[in-house]
């Protein structure tokens, strides 16, 4: 069973969190990294996105140590968990809140249970995150986990209200329409109640499979070097919230194909889908796709085609658009695929690719099925929004 442990977190001393924190490294373009870095000399990108040079990781580590020494970062006096609430408007225009808790999650092997993957991951040759962890000896950005613990969201809301009533201090920021609020919980009774609720239920990795894999490798390195099991390297920074509809906002990650002609791609899809003319896509099209049970093929010339599954074409295949496409396109040896969640970007880039298929967001039901049946989805099946902010909590691995 997983345990989410409290730890003595490092936090920014400045209340101006919008200037010193940033989105996750893997959603930032080089221009965005530069823009965040220019906001403040202590912005987390100066550590979390080091210069791509041989000395870049050591430079990042030296920067982090300097911030700890000069008071830009201060460490909690006692071990704590951190409540983290995101308030936003989702793609449908509805006001939403997601409330989870941040702590140290065990970096266990997937086969051991307790912490589970939910999708296959694409290979990454770079050891960037592992090199950065080695150099900084810290967890900078959290893995996002989904707990099957019923009632977790309500329990965390109660803990939030009780902490506020007792004089706890919440800090936050608002950017791009999302408000991020965090509040440390150091009361042993409150921590024990959260731990007890989480302990019986598995945690499914929602976002951060690669970061979790880095934590597993870092753990193994420390053990090989003589580190005792159960030490700081056996855990990693994680945000955990309940796997329920009102706590999650999930967007689709569309498929962008190359390596074959647009005609070859279209013919392959026609084996499993009925093709018919579709209107030019808009954000409303994504809702229409869900209502009609269809996908949309976009050609390089900008034309759109409904993809309606043929009867029995996907018998025995999971009800996932990504799995359907993998099945339909089996045999196209030269086919390559990239992933893009932003519809505006997709539409602007159509002419540069063989074809793009718009897919529907994965349902909560399929995510839960993945967890309970020990299944795996195709790569890039889910895009959880909003993204967690990096720099709100830093976990040192030195003790």
Tens of pLDDT, residue by residue over 288-333, are 898 899 999 999 999 999 999 999 999 999 888 998 999 999 999 9
Owner of token pair 């791609």? 265
Angle at 319 between CA 238 and CA 309, to 5 degrees: 140
- Report pLDDT for 125: 42
Q: pTM for this structure? A: 0.81
Q: CB within 8 A of 41, min separation 6: which ones?
A: none
Residue scoring higher pLDDT (20 or 253): 20
- Report pLDDT for 228: 85
With bands split at pLDDT 50, 70 and 90, how would you rate the model's confidence at 98? very high
Tens of pLDDT, residue by residue over 30-57, are 999 999 999 999 999 999 999 888 799 9
- Report pLDDT for 304: 96
Task: State yes or no: pLDDT of 116 exceeds 80.
Answer: no
Residue 344: which region, alpha, beta or left (left: phi > 0; alpha: psi -120 to 50)? alpha
- Report pLDDT for 245: 79
> Cα(157)–Cα(314) distance, rounded to whole angstroms?
42
Domain definitions of the chain by residue range: 10-249+384-396, 253-360
pLDDT (average), residues 279-293: 87
Dihedral sign of CA atoms 308, 313, 315, 320 in order: negative
With bands split at pLDDT 50, 70 and 90, how would you rate the model's confidence at 11? very high
With bands split at pLDDT 50, 70 and 90, how would you rate the model's confidence at 126? low
Task: Encode 149-159: b = buried (16+ Cβ within 10 Å), e = exposed.
Answer: beebbebbeeb
Owner of token pair 């929602």? 206
Task: State yes or no: pLDDT of 121 exceeds 80.
Answer: no
Nearest-Å Rg of the Cα atoms of the chain is 22
Mean pLDDT of the chain: 90
Dihedral sign of CA atoms 125, 128, 130, 134 in order: positive
Alpha-helical runs (H) found in 199-354:
209-224, 262-270, 283-292, 321-328, 343-348
CATH domain 253-360 topology:
3.30.1760
Tens of pLDDT, residue by residue over 201-250, are 888 888 888 899 899 999 999 999 998 888 999 999 999 999 887 888 77
């Amino acid at each position: 069973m997983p345990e989410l442990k409290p730890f003595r977190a490092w936090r920014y001393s400045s209340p101006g969190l919008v200037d010193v924190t940033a989105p996750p490294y893997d959603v930032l373009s080089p221009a965005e990294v530069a823009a965040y870095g220019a906001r403040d000399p202590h912005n987390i990108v100066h550590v979390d996105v080091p210069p791509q040079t041989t000395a870049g990781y050591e430079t990042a580590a030296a920067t982090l140590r300097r911030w700890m020494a000069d008071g830009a970062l201060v460490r909690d006096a006692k071990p704590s968990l951190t409540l983290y609430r995101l308030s936003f408007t989702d793609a449908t225009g509805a006001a939403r809140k997601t409330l989870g808790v941040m702590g140290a999650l065990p970096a266990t092997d997937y086969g051991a249970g307790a912490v589970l993957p939910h999708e296959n991951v694409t290979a990454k040759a770079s050891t960037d995150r592992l090199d950065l962890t080695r150099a900084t000896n810290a967890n900078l950005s959290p893995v996002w986990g989904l707990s099957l613990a019923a009632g977790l969201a309500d329990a965390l809301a109660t803990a939030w209200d009780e902490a506020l009533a007792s004089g706890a201090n919440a800090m936050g920021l608002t950017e791009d329409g999302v408000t991020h609020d965090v509040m440390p919980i150091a009361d042993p009774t409150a921590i024990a109640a959260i731990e007890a609720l989480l302990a019986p239920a598995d945690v499914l990795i929602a976002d951060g499979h690669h970061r979790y894999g880095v934590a597993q490798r870092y753990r193994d390195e420390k053990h090989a070097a003589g580190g005792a099991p159960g030490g700081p390297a056996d855990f990693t920074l994680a945000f955990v919230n309940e796997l329920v509809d009102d706590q999650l906002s999930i967007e689709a990650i569309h498929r962008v194909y190359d390596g074959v002609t647009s005609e070859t791609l279209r013919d392959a899809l026609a084996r499993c889908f009925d093709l018919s003319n579709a209107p030019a896509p808009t954000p409303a099209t994504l809702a229409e796709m869900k209502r009609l049970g269809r996908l949309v093929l976009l050609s390089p010339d900008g034309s759109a085609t409904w993809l309606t599954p043929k009867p029995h074409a996907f018998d025995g295949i999971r009800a996932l658009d990504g799995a359907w496409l993998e099945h339909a396109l089996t045999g196209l040896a030269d086919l390559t695929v990239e992933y893009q969640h932003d519809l505006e970007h997709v539409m602007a880039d159509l002419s540069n690719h063989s074809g793009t298929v718009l897919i529907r967001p994965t349902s909560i039901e399929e995510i839960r099925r993945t967890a309970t049946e020990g299944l795996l989805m195709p790569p890039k099946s889910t895009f959880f929004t909003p993204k967690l902010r990096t720099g709100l909590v830093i976990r040192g691995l030195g003790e």
